[in-house]
Chains A and B, each alone.
Chain A
Amino acid sequence: MARYGLTIDLGRCTGCYACVVACKSENATRPEVSWIRIQEEEAGEYPEVSRRYTPVLCMQCGTMPCARVCPSSAIYMGDGGIVQIDPDKCLCQETCPCLDACPFEVLQVNRGKKAYFPDYPVPSDKEAYENHRDGVVEKCNLCSQKISAGRLPACVQACPTQAMLFGDRNDPNSALAKAISSGRARDLKEGLKVNPAVVYIED
């Protein structure tokens, strides 16, 4: 069975936000909600200083720490090993223990403004934005709608420096599996043992 995942080459990520905007465009997420973010870290003192950009999104953990704490079993492992949230079962509204259970802080609750332009100048936006219901927790699902159509996740396709590689970790012939077995890939938070499907290649 396939297990979809990514490698993200930090040597190629320039922190340009193309992945962030591509995600917003593809998934019509609400204002102030983003399923992918760029973390900027600086180290050293001038002039011996460095800066690193790290895109952070749902790692599609094999152990699903978020699902373990969900009181209504809304979070499940879907096709291709993608962690999915069933909006009809997501009922907490306020408490949302999954948010704190996620070591990467990538789950978000839909709150506040529903859409950027409430008059919906593009008619199909109304349905797209209203699909993101109030109080429901959401996160990246690797654009599973695109994967099933045989296409790449929006962030992977958009990345100007092609820092992200998408594929099936379980297919030993995939470029992804080869990149992972190169020995340079590592978990974003090593030691957590959450078995993430998204891993990083160090600069």
Chain B
Amino acid sequence: MAEKDDFEKIFTYCIHCAALCGVIAYMRDGFLVKVEGDPESLHNAGTLCPKGLAAKQEIYHPDRLKYPMKRTKPKGENDPGWVRITWDEALDTIVANMEEIKESYGPEAFFFQKGSTGGSSGSEWYSLFNRLSNIYGSPNFGGTAHICCYTRSCPGLPLTLGMRGEQPSINYEKTECMLIVGFNLLHTRPNIARRVLDAKARGAKLIVVDPLLSPTAAKADVWLGLRPGTDLALFLAMHHVIVREALYDVDFLKAWTNAPFLVRDDNGLFLRGEGGQSCLVWDEESGSPAPADPWLSAGVKPALQGAYTVNKINCRPAWQHFCDLVEPCSPEWAQEITRVPEQRIREVTRIFAAAKPASVDWYNGLMRNSNTYYTAVALALLPVVTGNWDVPGGLTYGTRTRLNVPKSLQYLPQDWVEKSLVAQAGLKVTALGTKQVGPMSLVAEAMLTGKPYPIKGMLSLASGVGTSNPNSKKMMAALQQLKFCAMGDFWETPAMALADIVLPCATPWESEFVNYNPPYLMHRRPIVQPRYEAWPDLKIIFELARRLGYGELFWDGDMKKAFNHMLQPFGVTVDDLDAQPRGVYFNPPEPRYRKYAEKDEQTGKPKGVDTPTGRLEIYSETLKTLGYDPLPHWQEPEPGPFSTPDLSREFPLTLSFQPRPMHWIHGQFRIVPWLRECQPEPFAWINRRTAATLGIHEGDPILIETPKRDGTLQGYIRLKAHLTETLHPQAVGVPYGWWQGCEALGLNDCGSLDGSANVNDLLDDHFRDRVSGTIGMGSYPCRVRKE
């Protein structure tokens, strides 16, 4: 019997991750029967991942939040006594509290919180949520960037590479080597996964750095299963080999990086010429200093190495400093730290340096340690020193045409740089930019202690704040202190037990937006109207704005007008997109490479990059000025067996995080039965030899316990044991994002605190990267016992 073809088809796209796969919804009598990938889509060619394929069970799930509710019992009681209310009452209550808190404590006392941008479609509406927080006047808006994408794209590495929020982009058809770090790309970037495997099939090398053998590492030519949190030592040793074996690109370093800039021995700042404007290099041709503005005059041959004296000031080129930095970092040295055999480090470095072009990419596995910032700097400098920057197949950044992002930086409070919790906590690099990406622990502290000033109210959308950030107990205690808290989501989350108002949000399949994923400008058409009384997050934001008196700045609540505003750079409207199933085919301009060498029309000089010096920065004077290290010196991750040996005596194993599988976005979707059947229960990975000494067998229930900074117990969680050889005997691989049950399969919620499966209960938030604010958690001491 052939498939019935009496379906109505709705063309839309999936927003559960950044891939934006084209989807066809097969409808009958107004109900969704199934979704499939759109076979004609140039992105996904009919393919679709489990999350997208499970759309039906997400939309029609009987356990969704159905109505706005308010609590009727005091916070702290087990039962909040939820009572159904109207949207009018819910929104009026939120607005009244927002206004009262602003009046009594100032706008900074109200925190706007969003979760992961995946799953909920938050990647689309969050800029409008940020517009709301900016217009309201609060400098405190945030999410999870510091433990997710800080050094990659949000804000990225503006001081080293000059990129500001752009995503790295790699031409997989051209690359000869892919060095992938802490990034389960084959699962988390489904449409790129095909291209990586195609590249590998034609002979490009895939090198994966990850403490655990992730599905991506399992496909690698070389897997470096290093000790958690020691990636920086590995990269420094790679630089050591590159310097020792002269595998660096001398011409590129001289022309486009600040490697030849002279650094004063006395203060670590660049030596400057008369007037203090131009930095100086040492011209080997004339045997005298020469200005770099930042480009050199014809004929100047800048020295990269050596020591020079200019006007009685001793100085050395930045590259000499870098060479001095990596000189002691031999592969033998790194072997001691990382446990990667020195021969393997040499081999990988030679593969990487010989491959032209070679690329690197990284993600949240690298955003979990107190040394996160400099780890990313050292990694990003690998393609820079080998001349693989901004070439086809090397590391580059997209210059694609973008939608008008309606974030409204013009309304960003002028004093945010001083007033935000980020700035008050001394995160000076973050405060240089406009990305409001402070750690949630700062918010929790402000709620608990009133320092540096109180946070009294919070509106949180699509964020399991009780489970999604380190130190869940502290966060839950902090939420209890709030004067007012409203939360919106699809499901009831553990943190909602401490909310005053709960809002039912529409799934992405029931809401709409516009997006550009080259070559398509697409309209995300809703498949069905929101079920029950759910509202799209965007509608909540628009309606709150209207009631707060900002309606005009939100297109008077007219979403279509807002979408047309976003589409303006392309000269099309939503109606144009709706005229065709896949939206408007909008070919991106040919990717440009070597953009740094393009001539600026006004000055006639090369454009350079958007760093403080205009050159790629091997040595960061700005970091030095802000009180940080100008170079990526090795530092042990904190906590860890060597940085906090006192903790490791009683907690001798090291937590490491399992890679995110394709069927989850972080803490979401455990409740969706088709997805839950892929992985019904959370298992911890334990090396077989370690398990044997602990008397633990496959499937045994186990307890994992961790310390606070002071050595007392931080928390314990319950998981089952999976015995494996895919990690070091001293590491324990924990899955994150587990709290939710799945009644259809007879599985209960486990909560967020002690005894649950929520790994964030295990993490003290005391340890923090001084630059990015990343919480040190990727090398956390723990102990395991059979329950």
Contacts and interface: CB of A to CB of B under 8 A. Distances in A.
Interface of A: 11-12, 14-18, 20-22, 24-26, 31-32, 34, 42, 44-47, 49-53, 113, 116-117, 119, 121-124, 145-146, 148-149, 151-152, 154, 157-162
Interface in B218-264: 218-219, 223, 225
Contacts of A148: 1-3
Contacts of A45: 725
A12, A16, A116 interface centre (most CB from chain B within 10 Å)? A116
Given A16-B215, A22-B48, A49-B726, A158 B53 contact: yes
Interface stretch (B131-139, B456-464, B630-638, B670-678): B670-678
A54 to B, nearest CB: 12
A121 B3 contact: no
A116 B744 contact: yes
Nearest to B731: A46
Q: Indicate the size class of the contact surface on chain B.
A: 35 or more
A122 B186 contact: no
Interface string B29-42: 10111111101000
A25 B56 contact: yes
B361 to A, nearest CB: 17
12 contacts: A14-B186, A14-B218, A20-B677, A31-B677, A44-B725, A46-B726, A51-B218, A116-B673, A148-B3, A157-B36, A158-B47, A160-B47
Contacts of A161: 186, 190, 193-194, 197
Given A14-B215, A46-B225, A121-B62, 6 more contacts: A16-B215, A17-B662, A22-B53, A42-B726, A117-B61, A160-B48
A151 B3 contact: yes
B724 interface: yes
A145 B50 CA distance: 21
A12 B48 CA distance: 15
Contacts of A145: 1-3
Contacts of A123: 29, 31
A25 B726 contact: no
A71 B300 CA distance: 91
B46 interface: yes
A31 to B, nearest CB: 7
B56 A122 contact: yes
Contacts of B687: 46
Interface of B: 1-3, 5, 28-29, 31-37, 39, 44-50, 53-54, 56-57, 60-62, 186-187, 190-191, 193-194, 197, 201, 213, 215-216, 218-219, 223, 225, 661-663, 673-675, 677-678, 687, 724-729, 744-745
A46 B340 CA distance: 11
B126 to A, nearest CB: 26
Contacts of A146: 3
A46 B53 contact: no
Contacts of B50: 16-18, 20-21
Nearest to B60: A121
A158 B36 contact: yes
Contacts of B745: 31-32
Contacts of A46: 225, 687, 725-729
Given A25-B53, A31-B673, A149-B5, A14 B60 contact: no
A146 B26 CA distance: 14
B47 A159 contact: yes
Given A21-B678, A145-B3, A148-B3, A160 B62 contact: no
Nearest to A34: B677
Contacts of A44: 725
Contacts, number: 157
A12 B31 contact: no
B119 to A, nearest CB: 16
B190 A160 contact: yes
B62 A21 contact: no
Nearest to A162: B194
Contacts of A17: 50, 661-663, 678
Given A44-B725, A124-B29, A160-B47, A119 B215 contact: no
A32 B680 CA distance: 11
Nearest to A151: B3
B204 to A, nearest CB: 14
Contacts of B60: 117, 121-122
Nearest to B192: A160
B20 to A, nearest CB: 14
A162 B223 CA distance: 23
Contact of A42 (B29, B190, B223, B724): B724
Contacts of B44: 160
A42 to B, nearest CB: 6
A50 B60 CA distance: 40
Contacts of B5: 149
B5, B190, B215, B674 interface centre (most CB from chain A within 10 Å)? B674
Given A46-B726, A49-B726, A146-B3, A25 B47 contact: no
Contacts of B725: 42, 44-46, 49
Given A22-B53, A116-B744, A159-B47, A14 B37 contact: no
Contacts of B2: 145, 148-149
A14 B54 contact: no
A45 B727 CA distance: 9
Contacts of B61: 117
A12, A46, A113, A160 interface centre (most CB from chain B within 10 Å)? A160
A21 B674 contact: yes
A31 B193 contact: no
A152 B47 CA distance: 11
B665 to A, nearest CB: 14
A18 B47 contact: yes
B682 to A, nearest CB: 16
A11, A46, A158 interface centre (most CB from chain B within 10 Å)? A46
A146, A152, A154, A158 interface centre (most CB from chain B within 10 Å)? A158
Given A44-B725, A46-B728, A146-B3, A160 B744 contact: no
B577 to A, nearest CB: 25
B769 to A, nearest CB: 27
Closest CB pairs A-B (n = 5): A160-B190, A148-B2, A121-B60, A16-B662, A21-B50
A25 to B, nearest CB: 5
A157 B389 CA distance: 36
A128 to B, nearest CB: 8
Contacts of B34: 25-26
B722 to A, nearest CB: 10
Contact of B35 (A20, A25, A113): A25
Given A49-B725, A145-B1, A157 B39 contact: yes
A44 B36 CA distance: 38
A157 B49 contact: no
A15 B678 CA distance: 10
B32 A122 contact: yes
A148 B487 CA distance: 49
